[in-house]
Amino acid sequence: MAEHQHSLQASSVPASISSDSSPATEATACTPSLPQTYCRSCGGPTTDAASISLPPQWSDSSPPPAYRPIRAPAINAPTNTNAIVLAPVPRPLPVPVAEPPFHFEVPSKRIFSSDDIQRFHCSAAGRHFLGFVAALSDSVRGRKIHDPVLPLSPALSSLLSLIETLDKWIEEIPPLPHSSRYGNPAYRSWHDKLSNEGISLILPLLTSDELRPAADELLPYLLDSFGNASRIDYGTGHETNFAAFLYCLARLGLIKEEDYPALVTRVFVAYLHLMRRLQTMYCLEPAGSHGVWGLDDYHFLPFIFGSAQLIDHKYMKPRSIHNPDILDNFSNEYMYLACVAFVRKVKKGAFGEHSPMLDDISGVPTWTKVNSGLLKMYKAEVLEKVPIMQHFLFGSLIKWYDSLPYICFF
């Protein structure tokens, strides 16, 4: 370190420049004198300024180089960041249980514009659906996937059986030889089987004769929960339809609040595992993906639930996603880590380049802030986007209200 020993008494302002200098003096001082230089190792001023050559002066014939960012913003990068930051955090809300007499109906699409989006969020259905997602997140706060839960209710057992059946179909319907990167046509056969047998999969969930007619209303939510057969794709809209399917079961009183921890750590984890198999086996194309500006090409909810699991963890912080050992040893217990591990597995290159959003989130100091930010982002980037929500379905369990006022506060 001998080469870095130098005087720290030199002033950073040349002595000939003072507050009362005349213009002539200033011109003389500014022209010949060398600038004070600083050591690149310790930051202290050096005493050998004369040995440092001046940088070249830019001129009209030799202008400074144009600045080019390493990574230019993508056209689909989130643009309403300030609105997301300033928005209130969605809070857990109880699901209002539907009362008989029931008037079940086949659900239909009702969202076609941003005005319709606002109408949905002003309605009781919109508020309670988002509150349901927030309640699921809150129910797994500080819980690992394999932590003990209450005995599974008949509805949860039937849901796990349904997902297990769909998983077995993948073995029965192997992918076909296909040259394209995305969209193996064998997925259409898998989805056709789901369409043909969907009612028989739903009926075990409906434990009374009074609820059996609900199968026709629940079926479209189930069919849209696993991707689109014609486009052979999957995205956050399909994931939201699965959440809507679960919400409808809660509306029917089949899923209760005490079931929420098991609903997330057992049923949703099984659903996520099934979707990862479908995505990799049949090469499902990401539906409306934000590319590098999204959390994941396919999912959003497991990041919300997974960040809730890690709240107040003694050792693991948001920056821990950059530690390969933590991902290897704990991704089987925490959904957030499992999702990051999956991204690292399927995407090549520097993590900050292919997943800058996740990389930025890793700089947030606490999981509480990560979780609240993701809930707000889910509302803004999924539930308030017309291209996603135009496929959302409304029936008797998730109602569409035509008579709501245009202006509301939420």
SS3 state of residue 45: strand
Separation of alpha carbons 361 and 358, rounded Å:
5
Q: What is the pLDDT of residue 25?
A: 39
Q: How far is CA 337 from CA 97, 118, 140, 235, 306, in A?
A: 34, 34, 15, 20, 7
Q: What is the pLDDT of residue 5?
A: 46
Q: What is the pLDDT of residue 63?
A: 52
Q: How far is CA 197 from CA 114, 165, 202, 220, 235, in A?
A: 35, 11, 9, 12, 23
What is the full per-residue pLDDT of the chain (410 aa) written as tens digits? 444 444 444 434 333 334 444 444 344 444 444 455 555 444 555 555 444 445 455 555 555 544 333 333 333 445 567 777 788 999 999 999 999 999 999 999 999 999 999 999 999 999 999 999 999 999 999 999 999 999 999 999 999 999 999 999 999 999 999 887 789 999 999 999 999 999 999 999 998 999 999 999 999 999 999 999 999 999 999 999 999 999 999 999 999 999 999 999 999 999 999 999 999 999 999 987 655 557 888 999 999 999 999 999 999 999 999 999 999 999 999 999 999 999 999 888 999 889 999 999 999 999 999 999 999 999 999 999 999 999 999 999 999 987 665 556 55
Distance, CA of 169 to chain centre: 28
Contact 205/211 with Cβ under 8 angstroms? Answer: no
Q: What is the pLDDT of residue 178?
A: 83
Amino acid at 67: Y
Q: What is the pLDDT of residue 34?
A: 47
Radius of gyration for the chain, computed over Cα atoms and rounded to the nearest angstrom: 29
Q: What is the pLDDT of residue 40?
A: 45
pTM, full prediction? 0.80
How many C-beta atoms surround the C-beta of residue 394 within 10 A?
19
Burial of 344 (0-12, 13-18, 19+ CB in 10 A): middle
Which stretches of 63-199 are assigned E, i.e. beta strand? 108-109
What letter does residue 228 receive in the DSSP assignment?
B
Burial of 385 (0-12, 13-18, 19+ CB in 10 A): middle
Q: Tell me which residue of 148, 167, 133 sits closest to 246, measured CA to CA.
A: 133
Q: How far is CA 160 from CA 59, 61, 274, 302, in A?
A: 71, 72, 11, 17
Q: What is the pLDDT of residue 24?
A: 41
Which stretches of 281-340 are assigned E, i.e. beta strand? 285-286
Contact 244/393 with Cβ under 8 angstroms? Answer: yes
Q: What is the pLDDT of residue 87?
A: 85
Separation of alpha carbons 400 and 390, rounded Å:
13
Separation of alpha carbons 221 and 203, rounded Å:
14
